[in-house]
């Protein structure tokens, strides 16, 4: 569909029941997202009409006089609410990437309404009664394995949402969900404002000491975009903060940037998130008790691979001592250099002196690596690797509607069929969530013959004058990580959308994304796509070898800053007593754990969007470590065979992991792929930590 065709499909009067956003998407291969017609004023009436339509569909299923069966109840439920899915897909793009101005008022008004609607569906007595009948019927055993899992999935969802509660408790759970939705939006909007409004402008040459040309070019472009031509902008985002702390020789400015970043939403002003967090935690704890669970953590992990908070904590605490010990070693190495500068290592010094240690130990300056890491070349490398492993091709598509001019679209296909569309939104801008993520605009849906539409979203800084964007090695790893999520969505081949793509448990969904990170360091990718931005020459093999030799370097820092966040997350949601001050709780928990003073949590509590902008990763940030065990153990299967691109292992991985979504129990799926349960050994070896005699994760 061209932009001209989109322009001909103008929306009807705002507020009409047949609002245009509810209509099936037009365009090739089952339709594409009609971004070109979106007006912020349309979201409220479209959402309200879509909710009304889905509720009517649910009421028809619940009122069906025929005996409940898989087809007339569970399959009918799978097919219900497609208009609602289309509307919320577009609304979600605005919430994550264009969240400013009038949209924030819409979000504030609609989030509690959406939460109330979700509760109305998940607590619908008549609908649950029919699903429960199918689940408990003698005919259940006659269903095939995937049908049985779908029935189990919906039954479990209803029970966990409170469908079996009495009316007063149902009403209270629904009220909690509505209030949480308001708080989640407030938390996110506070964080967006803190990141957008705090910018350090550098104007004197001496303030630029140590900053590489690429960092300076991006900072100059960011300043010019904000009307400060001739200056250099250090933004209050991770993608701007990390390179500044790594390279700036101005310790006073490093401290200033560090304090501004790590004090986001923790300054006692209107954007302070601590009171929001206290209320979120209290409401989550109350909801868990109403639903029959000891804590929010127990409720969240009941359907995870870990199963219980205790199992998740056991894994984290097994790794923690080795990670802290490695930090002590890293600090000793850094302090030996810092002492000559008369400096005792503080958190704003860690990245700077770690880089100097890297240079001294491995003769590797990561600034030397960066010119070889061009964003667009690495994107081509991701495409090539996906083609080699899974037979996928990526063809750019012109003329399809996009939500922002920075977005681009590719059609994904195999030799004989269309697979889906991949959207790429790479650059930072006001109103866009920081970090990187994958979204599914449309989940693979065999019941509707619909192919997946997915996106990857990052926050790289544009270069001045259209020069190739150079990114750091860590950012390159993150790029491959998020593309792993996209491949998980694109390769889905599941009968029912609720079980398709990335709709799997939290501590399994990160497995495919983390496994995909391994491909970046392969000679096959680096020799073809790590090309120097000026000369075009491929990265020398000797430089690639030096990068490989440093893969366990600074893993103490990386593991401790992550694990500190994951442990605080779990402790917050296991706390029996009400958390009255998140800062105090964070400080006391880290002191009890023996957190090294030279670094902080990767996500301090007032900024921890993973766990406070939704329920998504709450009591679940541990999942990255759980999945890292699967990733390292799983990648060993490739290395034990013919190498990273072994065709037989790739086919097994595709068929047993990527294609099955949640249609198979994750533990079973992993064992089918690997031939056994995972062990922790490969993960510990990769980080240079001691390896115990035996440890499995199931």
Q: Which of 482, 510, 586, 598 is catalytic?
A: 482
The burial of 214, by beta-carbon neighbours within 10 Å (0-12 exposed, 13-18 middle, 19 or more buried), is given as buried
CB 394 within 8 A of CB 486: no
Give the separation between CA 571 and CA 626, rounded to whole angstroms. 17
The reply to whether 59 belongs to the active site is no
The first and second tokens of residue 341, run together, are 């500068």
The count of residues in the chain is 698
How many of the other CB atoms lie within 10 Å of CB of 619? 28
Contact 562, 602 (CB under 8 A): yes
Burial of residue 393 (CB within 10 Å: 0-12, 13-18, 19+) is middle
**Under a CB-based contact definition with an 8 Å cutoff, are residues 622 and 569 in contact?**
yes
> CA–CA separation, 576 vs 666, rounded Å?
31
Closest CA to 218 of 192, 195, 241: 241
CA distances in angstroms from 517 to 477, 543, 670, 696, listed in the order given: 6, 19, 18, 22
Sign of the C-alpha dihedral computed for residues 343, 347, 348 and 349 taken in this order: positive
534 phi/psi in degrees, rounded to 5: -100, -55
Distance between CA 544 and CA 175 in Å, rounded?
A: 55
DSSP state of 343: -
Bridge partners (DSSP) of residue 202 are 232
Contact criterion met (CB below 8 Å) for 119 and 173: yes
Q: How far is the C-alpha of 604 from the C-alpha of 71, rounded, in Å?
A: 47
Distance CA 667, CA 670 (A): 5
What gap in Å lies between CA 409 and CA 425, rounded to an integer? 9
Residue 232 pairs in a beta bridge with: 202
Residue 116 half-sphere exposure, CB side, CA atoms within 13 Å? 13
Residues 6/8/14/18 CA torsion (nearest 10 deg): -80
What is the rounded distance in angstroms from the CA atom of residue 345 to the CA atom of residue 361?
A: 18
According to DSSP, the β-strands at 418-427 and 232-235 are unpaired
Kindly report the backbone phi and psi dihedral angles of residue 263, in degrees, each rounded to the nearest multiple of 5, phi listed first: -105, 10
Query: How many degrees, rounded to 5, is the angle at CA 197 between CA 194 and CA 200?
Result: 110
At residue 471, φ and ψ (nearest 5 deg) are -125, 165
CA 443/CA 352 separation, integer angstroms:
42
- CB–CB of 183/279 below 8 Å? yes
Q: How far apart are CA 42 and CA 268, in angstroms?
A: 36
8-state DSSP, 501: T
The terminus-to-terminus CA distance of the chain in angstroms comes to 46
Structure tokens at 311: 């199992």
Going by C-beta distance under 8 Å and a sequence separation of 6 or more, which residues neighbour residue 268? none
Catalytic residues: 482
């Amino acid at each position: 569909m061209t932009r001209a065709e989109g322009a001909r499909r103008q929306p009807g009067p705002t507020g009409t029941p047949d609002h245009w956003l509810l209509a099936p998407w037009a365009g090739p291969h089952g339709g594409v997202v009609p971004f070109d017609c979106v007006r912020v004023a349309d979201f409220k009436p479209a959402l309200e009409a879509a909710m009304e339509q889905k509720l009517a569909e649910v009421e028809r299923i619940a009122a069906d006089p025929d005996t409940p069966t898989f087809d007339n109840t569970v399959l009918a439920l799978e097919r219900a609410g497609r208009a609602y899915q289309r509307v919320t897909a577009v609304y979600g793009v605005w919430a994550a990437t264009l969240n400013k101005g009038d949209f924030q008022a819409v979000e504030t008004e609609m989030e509690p309404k959406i939460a109330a609607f979700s509760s109305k569906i998940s607590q619908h007595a008549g609908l649950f009664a029919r699903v429960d009948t199918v689940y408990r019927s003698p005919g259940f055993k006659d269903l095939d394995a995937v049908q049985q899992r779908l029935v189990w999935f919906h039954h479990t969802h209803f029970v966990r949402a409170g469908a079996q509660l009495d009316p007063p408790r149902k009403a209270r759970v629904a009220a909690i969900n509505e209030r949480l939705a308001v708080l989640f939006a407030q938390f996110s909007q506070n964080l967006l404002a803190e990141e957008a409004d705090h910018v350090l402008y550098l104007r004197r040459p001496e303030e630029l000491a140590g900053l590489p040309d690429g960092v300076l070019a991006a900072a100059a472009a960011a300043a010019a975009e904000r009307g400060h031509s001739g200056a250099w902008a250090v933004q209050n985002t991770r993608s701007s903060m990390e390179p500044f702390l790594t390279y700036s020789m101005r310790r006073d400015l490093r401290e200033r940037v560090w304090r501004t970043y790590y004090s986001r939403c923790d300054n006692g002003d209107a954007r302070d998130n601590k009171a929001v967090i206290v209320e979120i935690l209290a409401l989550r704890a109350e909801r868990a008790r109403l639903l029959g669970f000891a804590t929010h953590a127990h409720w969240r992990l009941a359907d995870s691979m870990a199963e219980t908070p205790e199992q998740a904590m056991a894994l984290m605490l097994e790794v923690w001592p080795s990670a802290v010990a490695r930090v002590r070693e890293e600090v000793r190495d850094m302090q030996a250099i810092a002492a000559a500068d008369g400096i005792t290592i503080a958190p704003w010094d860690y990245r700077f002196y770690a880089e100097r240690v890297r240079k001294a130990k491995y003769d590797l300056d990561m600034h030397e690596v960066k010119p070889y890491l061009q964003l667009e070349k690495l994107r081509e490398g991701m495409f090539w690797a996906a083609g080699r492993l899974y037979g996928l091709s990526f063809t750019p598509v012109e003329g399809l509607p996009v939500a922002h001019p920075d977005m681009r679209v590719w059609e994904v296909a195999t030799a004989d069929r269309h697979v889906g569309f991949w959207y790429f939104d790479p650059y930072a801008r006001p109103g866009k969530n920081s970090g990187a993520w994958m979204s599914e605009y449309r989940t693979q849906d065999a019941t509707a013959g619909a192919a997946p539409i997915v996106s990857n979203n990052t926050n790289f800084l544009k270069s001045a004058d259209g020069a190739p964007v150079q990114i750091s090695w860590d950012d390159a790893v993150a790029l491959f990580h998020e593309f792993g999520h996209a491949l998980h969505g694109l390769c889905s081949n599941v009968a029912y959308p609720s079980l398709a793509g990335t709709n799997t448990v939290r501590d399994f969904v990160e497995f495919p994304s983390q496994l995909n990170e391994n491909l970046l360091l392969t000679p096959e990718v680096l020799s073809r796509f790590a090309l120097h931005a000026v000369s075009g020459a491929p990265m020398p093999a000797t430089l690639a070898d030096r990068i490989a030799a440093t893969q366990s370097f600074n893993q103490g820092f990386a593991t401790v800053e992550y694990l500190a966040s994951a442990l605080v997350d779990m402790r917050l949601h296991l706390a029996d007593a009400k958390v009255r001050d998140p800062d105090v709780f964070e400080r006391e928990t880290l002191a009890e754990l023996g957190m090294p003073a030279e670094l902080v949590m990767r996500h301090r509590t007032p900024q921890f969007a993973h766990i406070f902008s939704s329920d998504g990763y709450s009591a679940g940030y541990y999942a990255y470590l759980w999945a890292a065990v699967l990733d390292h153990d799983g990648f060993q299967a490739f290395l034990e065979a013919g190498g990273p691109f072994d065709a037989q292992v790739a086919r097994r991985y595709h068929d047993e992991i990527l294609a099955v979504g949640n249609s198979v129990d994750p533990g079973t799926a992993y064992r089918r792929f690997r031939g056994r349960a995972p062990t922790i050994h490969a993960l510990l070896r990769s980080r240079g930590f001691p390896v115990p005699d035996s440890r499995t994760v199931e």
